[in-house]
Structure 1
């Protein structure tokens, strides 16, 4: 399936181009298309359609886009203001090729004042250091963190970052040129904002595993901006703030630096690279809200994510999601006991909600054009079982990870170490 972008306001009408994974490649051709729709430059929708042979691809996708937008209210302008100095932290481990693609897109940002910090986590080769020093030089800062774990690597980035806002993304994304400006501008407009998250779309949809994941929601949280305020809990989320997965994802998030340091950064016993398998971003979201700060989801801040390609990747991801969910809840119980009463009241409903989601995935397929036309992609029961097994294992994984990192201090006092 071709991933494309459709600009409805092109100089000569609708303009269709390939997405970031194949930028500069051949023209969009007949076949199945997944398109991001932009209006006045802003992401407003995604559409999936088939371009018939002999029909202009831009016309076919534009027709699908107009049909999808009928009756839809266009989003209000995003909050704006001087974003100030920003830092972008990218944690990585032995994926220099992917990292180079991400760094190229980050260096192309339209933000007026920012730095990029690469944290090389528990490296076994010099590939990442060589890439940063030889290709990017002083444009990218290199920092080595010997202790494995995504949260630990992120904390290392926090320690050396000098921006008033610290953004985080992954080494397997391509950032839209306006990403950093859109993600950081809300902090200037709202002094009470502690965190912002953004839109994550697929960079490629080439394999059944990638299509299956995206057909069931992927990482996207929609095209409607939303503000989460602990002083005014949302009526439609009775589990707030413990439904942290609805706020955004770690591949596209930013924090006010003072707020993030005040909560102690990320829990080092969570995240990829630890027995907890995940939950580092969820823990930070809830901790910032619990400290009284607001959180904003802004779809104008877009990154394209390279989904994992194989069935085994998807199996690992399903298990990791379940483990990360209960690991982050365990972390809250251990590290923020003041949240215990509210958490205990809401956790049973939260776990029931998670089971309902997986059951719904199993029962209802998601229609996505496939190689031979429209197909349904039901969520395999095997993946739901793996997710539930992960949920059972999460607390034990967190306990094991916590023992491993016991005595590892927050790196705030290691500023400047290389």
Structure 2
């Protein structure tokens, strides 16, 4: 039967070729969840998909004992839970038993002498607690040639600077961008980056230890690739708002690698304008020379401005129309901590709509020749999106359960809310909020451009 994803559920990960587990995201510690579990399943490090199992039940293997927390004290038998997760993966992810499979290892980190420098940029504004967790995860990277830049955007105090200095001043560089706006903060980091590749993640995201290695490997494998995005999975599903986000859209783009270029548009009639399908700003990287060559990020877009987003989408589009290849590589994993309250979620979804409308306005404003192409693609693109939405009603965010609480989250949803409104209470409201934001996007972009011109004429040093 088909069961809609609900919270709370503990997010874990499991590697079919690694003994033990399940583990906390990033394989930081083993866990003994007490309730429903959603697991990222890997084989030899490569992500295969997400599976879910319901609460463990007493069996002939032994009862589940009491516990004082999600991973403390005696609790559900971890071996039994592992078996249940493995069985779910074999049913839903075409993951055969380990003995019948030939493991394919994810790319290994290159020797330090041959590894190109990667500059990792984290932009933040007034969230030192989240930032501390994000930086701690980044410092566990297995890539040998990495510099970390923390851009403090329009800070009201020195809390972020003190955190960076205390955490690891030798490996973390603190930068300050006084003008509010995520695109401006990204550009500040970009201007200071020394790496051949520049990677971006958010202060509410936890990078996998192999994240930088996977990104760098994609660039090394194909010189035509100038932008790489990666898999974003939820770090927690503690609240109904977090589960609602996954049901409505989520950040996941599936578990199969993909490449896009203007030379091979594929079957999507909205290509290249549906840039949200390529990835998200929480997990993206560029060849530094390329992103600088296209002008960086538009400062009139992004969180912290009237547009509330869209700077990442516009960068993806700019890379493509400049003749480069954009690649999605699910081996590059980032865990994202979604908004915890419904009020925060609703504001975020409306902001997504505003950012989308602003991005499209910016695209045709900066390159008027794109307008005719966009208008030509809209009718067929709208029909295509609606078909995908209908097909995705049992896609990402839904557990294809077997009646016993097991299932898969297959990552095939559309990234829009239009496909779940008739099945998920609350999705219709989120869809209306996103549409409201979309309609306001063009006006917001024009306001933001005027604001940006004013900022440029003032001294913010």
TM over 0.5, shorter chain: yes
- The equivalent residue for 2:357 is 326
Offset, 1:70: 2.7
Q: 1:384 aligns with which of 431, 440, 453?
A: 431
- The equivalent residue for 1:145 is 177
Measure the CA separation in 2 of the matches of 1:43 and 1:364.
18
Q: 1:341 aligns with which of 355, 372, 377?
A: 372
Change (3 A) 1:379 1:221: farther
Secondary structure, aligned partner of 1:188: helix
CA contact (8 A) 2:53 2:405 kept: no
Offset, 1:405: 0.4
Secondary structure, aligned partner of 1:137: coil
Offset, 1:344: 2.6
1:246-290, Cα deviation, whole Å (9 max, x unpaired): 100000000011110111011111111111111110000000000
Segments of 5+ residues of structure 2 without an aligned counterpart are 1-8, 60-79, 408-422
Q: How do residues 400-415 of structure 1 correspond to structure 2 at under 5 angstroms?
A: 400-406=447-453
Q: 1:112 aligns with which of 135, 139, 144?
A: 144
Deviation larger for 314-323 or 294-303: 314-323
Kindly indicate whether residue 13 of structure 2 is the aligned counterpart of residue 5 of structure 1: yes
Q: How do residues 182-331 of structure 1 correspond to structure 2 at under 5 angstroms?
A: 182-234=214-266, 236-331=267-362
CA contact (8 A) 2:200 2:282 kept: yes
CA contact (8 A) 1:35 1:46 kept: yes
Q: How do residues 49-198 of structure 1 correspond to structure 2 at under 5 angstroms?
A: 49-54=53-58, 56-70=80-94, 83-198=115-230
CA contact (8 A) 1:150 1:271 kept: yes
Change (3 A) 1:186 1:292: same
Measure the CA separation in 2 of the matches of 1:38 and 1:363.
22
Offset, 1:192: 1.5
Q: Which runs of 4+ in 1 moved over 3 A?
A: 22-26, 71-83, 347-370, 372-379, 407-410
Deviation larger for 257-266 or 344-353: 344-353
Secondary structure, aligned partner of 2:151: strand
Kindly indicate whether residue 33 of structure 2 is the aligned counterpart of residue 28 of structure 1: yes
CA contact (8 A) 1:366 1:377 kept: no
Offset, 1:381: 1.4
Measure the CA separation in 1 of the matches of 2:376 and 2:231.
31
Offset, 1:112: 1.4
Measure the CA separation in 2 of the matches of 1:364 and 1:7.
23
Measure the CA separation in 2 of the matches of 1:88 and 1:195.
14
Measure the CA separation in 2 of the matches of 1:362 and 1:398.
32
Measure the CA separation in 1 of the matches of 2:361 and 2:382.
13
Deviation larger for 269-278 or 127-136: 127-136
Change (3 A) 1:167 1:320: same
- The equivalent residue for 1:414 is none
CA contact (8 A) 1:50 1:369 kept: no
Secondary structure, aligned partner of 2:315: helix
Give RMSD over aligned pairs: 3.0
Deviation larger for 102-111 or 339-348: 339-348
Count residues in correspondence: 406
Change (3 A) 1:49 1:344: same
Offset, 1:45: 1.0
TM-score, normalising length: structure 1: 0.89
Change (3 A) 1:361 1:212: farther
Offset, 1:389: 0.4
Segments of 5+ residues of structure 1 without an aligned counterpart are 411-416
Kindly indicate whether residue 54 of structure 2 is the aligned counterpart of residue 17 of structure 1: no
1:284-315, Cα deviation, whole Å (9 max, x unpaired): 00000000000000000001000101111111
